[in-house]
Structure 1
Amino acid sequence: MSDHGLLVIGSGPAGLSAAEAYRSERPDAPVRIVSADVSHPYDRPPLSKDFLRGETEDVTLHPAEWFTERNIDLTLGTAVEHIDTAARTVTVDGTSYSYDALVLATGASPVPLSVPGGERVLQLRSLDDGRRLRDAASSARSAVVIGAGFIGCEAAASLASRGLSVTLVAPDEVPQQKRLGDEAGRRLTALVEATGVTYLGGVKVTAVDDGAVHLDNGTTLDADLVLAATGVTPNSSLAESLGISLEQSRVPVQADMSTSVDGVYAAGDVAFAVNTAAGRALAVEHWFDAESQGKIAGTSAAGKDAGWSDVPGFWTTIGDADVKYASWGDGYDEATFVEHDDGFTVWYTSDGATVGVLTYNADDDYESGEELITERKPPPAAT
C-alpha cells in the first residue's frame, strides 16, 4: 500500500467516523477531511432541540485537539473542483491531494420550498442555518413550520417552548401518516400539541409573503418566522462526475461501503447501501447510521473486513417526549398499535415478520424490536 492514505469529503458523522476508523487501522498514514462547510464539525440533532431552545452553545462533534492528537488534517470551507480516480487525486481550491482511498460522505441538502416567496423561508440543516433560525426566534412572536417530519415536529416544539405561537402545517392529516400510519400519526399529533403547537394537516402552502403564509384551503397564517422542514436531497453530484450510476438519487455501495469505482467508498445520507441483515440496499438519513456506515467505510478503506448489518434507527425528542424508531424503512403490510399505561408501541410487519418498531416510553419493546427485525420474527402482539 502506498503512503497517500485516506481523503474524506464531508465533515459530518459519516466523514469523521470514516477518518477515525481508518486512523485506528493505519496509525501512520495521512488522513485528510475536506468539507464545504465553514464550521468546525458539529452535531446536527441539537440544532432543532436544545440549541434552538437556547439551552446549549456546544454542538461540536470533537474539539480541535481531537484532530491534532490523531494527526487528521481538517480543511473547511473548500470546494472540490475535480476528482481523478485514475491518478487518485482530488483537486480542492487549486490544490491537488493524492489518496489511496477516497470516502464520499457528502450528506444531503434541504429541498427548497418551491412556491412564490419560498426564498423567504428559513431552513435547518447547517449550523449557520441553526444560528439564523435561533436569532430570528429571538424577535418573533409567531412562527409557521412547514413539514411534519421529525425535524419539523422537533423544531416546532422547540419554538413553542420559547414562547412563540407556532403552527405546524403539512399535507398529511397527521404527522408521518404515510411512513408510520394513522394511529401513530395521531399520537405524534398529541405529543406535538402538548408542547403548545397547533397542528394543521391536510393542507399545502401556496405562497409566502412578508409576515404571512398562504394555504391551499384559503387560510392565511400570520408568521414572523417561517421554517421549511420539507426533506432533503442527497449531495450526489460528485459521485455522478465519477461515472457512478445513481439509485434513488444516491450512490450504490456494497455492505463494505465500496462503490463501483476502485478505491472510492460512500457513506451516510448520500449512500444507497447493502445491508446484509436486510438482504438488500437501503436508503437512510439517520445520524447513527451515518456514523456506523462511516466507520465501515474507513475500516474497509484500510484493507480490513467490515460490513453493514445494523437495523436503521433513531430517537426523536418532541418537547419532553422521546420517541424511538427502528425499521428497514422500505415499507410494511400491517401496523399493530399496543397501548401502555404511559406510552405506546407500534409493531410494523411484512408477511408476518417484524420490519419496524416505534415506541414511546417502551424501551424494552424498542430493544427487543431490533432483534425481532434482524431475525425476521413476528412481534409479541402477533403471537
Structure 2
Amino acid sequence: MNVKVLIVGNGPGGVELAKQLSEDHEVTIVEKETVPYYTKPMLSHYVAGDVKEENLFPYSLDWYRKKGIELLLGTTAKKIDTKKKTLETDRGTLEYDILVLATGAGPRKLQIPGSEKMLTLRTIDDAKKLKEAIEKERELVIIGGGFIGLELAGNLSKKGFKVRVVEKTTSLMGLDGDLTERIKKELEKYGVEFYLGRDVERIENDVLVTDKEEIPSKVILCSIGIVPETTLAEESGLAVNRGVLVDRTFKTSESNVYAIGDCAEHNGIICGTAKAAMAHAKVLANNLRGIPDEYDFQFRSSYFKFGDFPIAVLGTLTKDGNWLDSETKAFYRDGKIVGVVVFEDMKKARDWEERLRSSR
C-alpha cells in the first residue's frame, strides 16, 4: 500500500524519519529554509573554526533523490486541513495520509532595551553572522549558561577568543552547585569568565549592563533556550501548550498527525536536542510500520563537550545526589540510583546509561 507521508521540517527529526520510511512509503519533506539538511549540533564548532561549512552538510540533493525523498525547499507550510488530509503551502496544496510536524524551535529572545544588538544561534545563517562578528572582534559575551553557550565558550576560548558567560541563575545547565562549580573551573582554565546570578538590564554603546556591573560586549549571543515552533499546529486547531502536545507514540490531538523533535511536548517535557529528535523519529517510524513503540520522555541522555571537557547527563536528576568517584555523581530516588552525571570518561557514561535504562 502506497502511504503518503508528509514531513514538515528538514532538521534531525524530519530527516531521520524520512530515512527510516522512504523505502516503504512515498515521503515528501516541506522545508522553509533553502538549503538541504545540515548538522545543527556542529554549528558551534563551525563558528569556532573547527569545522568547514561544507562539512556541515552530510546529504546532497542527489542523496534525497536516490533515497526517493521529495524535498521541497523554500516552501512554507501554511495550514493543515485534517478533514481533507491536505497541507496548504505558499507553493500549492499537498495531500497526505500521514502528516508529521518536525518544525523545530526558534531561539528564546531577551526583551531588553538594545536587544536588537544580540545575535542568536539556531540556523546556518545565524552561524555565519556570528562567525563573521567574532572573527572581527575576537571576543564574545554569551547570555545563558546552557549547553549551546557553554559548548561555544569552550570551543572559542580554546582558540584564544575572549569569552564571557552571563547567567541569570547561579547554575550552569540547571545543574546543582558542585556540578556547576566543576564545569566552571574547567572552562576557566581556558580563560572563560563567568558572571552568574546576574540580571541583564540593557545593552548600550557596546556594553552589557547587568544589575551588578557593566560588561564590555561588542558581540553578544543570546542563548537562553528555545521556543517550540507551534504556529502551524495552533492555526490548524491542534492542541498546543509550549509545544505541540503528543503522547508517548507522538500522536497529536488530530488523527494521522504526529509531532517529533523540539516542537513536541509531552507532560510538560520538551526534549530540545538533535539526539532526542532522531530517537523520536525512530520510535515513530516503528509505530508507523506497525511495531508498537513508546518514547521515554522522563529519561535524559545528553552528551556534551565544552572545549576538551566532555560531560554526560543521564537519567533523572533528583535533589538527592552524591559523588561515587571524582568523575561520577549519582542521583537517588527511594535509595535507588535513577540518574548520573559523568565527567571526562564517556565509556563509563555509556555503561551507566545502559544500566540506568535496563533498571527502569
| Alignment match, 1:277 | none
Q: Residues of 2 paired with 1:55 and 1:61: CA distance?
A: 13
The correspondence of residues 66-81 of structure 1 with structure 2, limited to 5 A, is: 66-81=63-78
Whether 2:255 is the aligned partner of 1:262: answer yes
Q: Among 222, 234, 239, which residue is 2:216 paired with?
A: 222
The correspondence of residues 1-383 of structure 1 with structure 2, limited to 5 A, is: 1=1, 3=2, 5-24=4-23, 26=24, 29-57=25-53, 58-176=55-173, 179-217=174-212, 219-247=213-241, 249-273=242-266, 282-309=269-296, 311-328=299-316, 332-340=318-326, 344-376=327-359
TM-superposed CA distance for 1:376, in Å, is 4.5
Q: Which amino acid is 2:303 matched to?
A: W
Moved more, 262-271 or 41-50: 41-50
Unaligned runs of 5+ in 1: 274-279, 378-383
Q: Residues of 1 paired with 2:160 and 2:357: CA distance?
A: 43
Q: Residues of 2 paired with 1:74 and 1:10: CA distance?
A: 10
Does the aligned pair in 1 maintain the 2:239–2:252 contact within 8 Å?
Answer: no
Q: Residues of 1 paired with 2:268 and 2:161: CA distance?
A: 42
TM-superposed CA distance for 1:375, in Å, is 4.4
Q: Residues of 1 paired with 2:331 and 2:231: CA distance?
A: 34
TM-superposed CA distance for 1:161, in Å, is 3.1
How many aligned residue pairs are there? 358
TM-superposed CA distance for 1:160, in Å, is 2.0
Q: Residues of 2 paired with 1:40 and 1:17: CA distance?
A: 13
What is the TM-score of this pair, normalised by structure 1? 0.87
Does the aligned pair in 1 maintain the 2:208–2:217 contact within 8 Å?
Answer: yes
Does the aligned pair in 1 maintain the 2:47–2:130 contact within 8 Å?
Answer: no
Q: Residues of 1 paired with 2:205 and 2:28: CA distance?
A: 44
Q: Residues of 2 paired with 1:13 and 1:294: CA distance?
A: 9
SS at 1:283's partner residue?
coil
Q: Residues of 1 paired with 2:357 and 2:285: CA distance?
A: 24
TM-superposed CA distance for 1:191, in Å, is 1.7
SS at 1:348's partner residue?
strand
SS at 1:180's partner residue?
coil
Runs of 4+ in 1 over 6 A off after TM superposition: none
**Pair 162,361 (structure 1): closer, same or farther in 2 beyond 3 Å:** closer
Unaligned runs of 5+ in 2: none
Does the aligned pair in 2 maintain the 1:286–1:312 contact within 8 Å?
Answer: no
**Pair 210,164 (structure 1): closer, same or farther in 2 beyond 3 Å:** farther
SS at 1:103's partner residue?
strand
RMSD after superposition = 2.1
Q: Residues of 1 paired with 2:264 and 2:171: CA distance?
A: 29
TM-superposed CA distance for 1:296, in Å, is 2.2
Q: Residues of 1 paired with 2:216 and 2:268: CA distance?
A: 43
Does the aligned pair in 2 maintain the 1:171–1:204 contact within 8 Å?
Answer: yes
TM-superposed CA distance for 1:49, in Å, is 2.3
What is the TM-score of this pair, normalised by structure 2? 0.92
**Pair 155,364 (structure 1): closer, same or farther in 2 beyond 3 Å:** closer
Q: Residues of 2 paired with 1:336 and 1:314: CA distance?
A: 20
Q: Which amino acid is 2:56 matched to?
A: V
Identity of matched residues, %: 28
Q: Residues of 2 paired with 1:251 and 1:61: CA distance?
A: 28
Q: Residues of 2 paired with 1:90 and 1:303: CA distance?
A: 24
**Pair 306,281 (structure 1): closer, same or farther in 2 beyond 3 Å:** farther
Does the aligned pair in 2 maintain the 1:106–1:235 contact within 8 Å?
Answer: yes
Q: Residues of 1 paired with 2:171 and 2:309: CA distance?
A: 17
**Pair 156,31 (structure 1): closer, same or farther in 2 beyond 3 Å:** same
TM-superposed CA distance for 1:362, in Å, is 2.9
Does the aligned pair in 2 maintain the 1:113–1:119 contact within 8 Å?
Answer: no
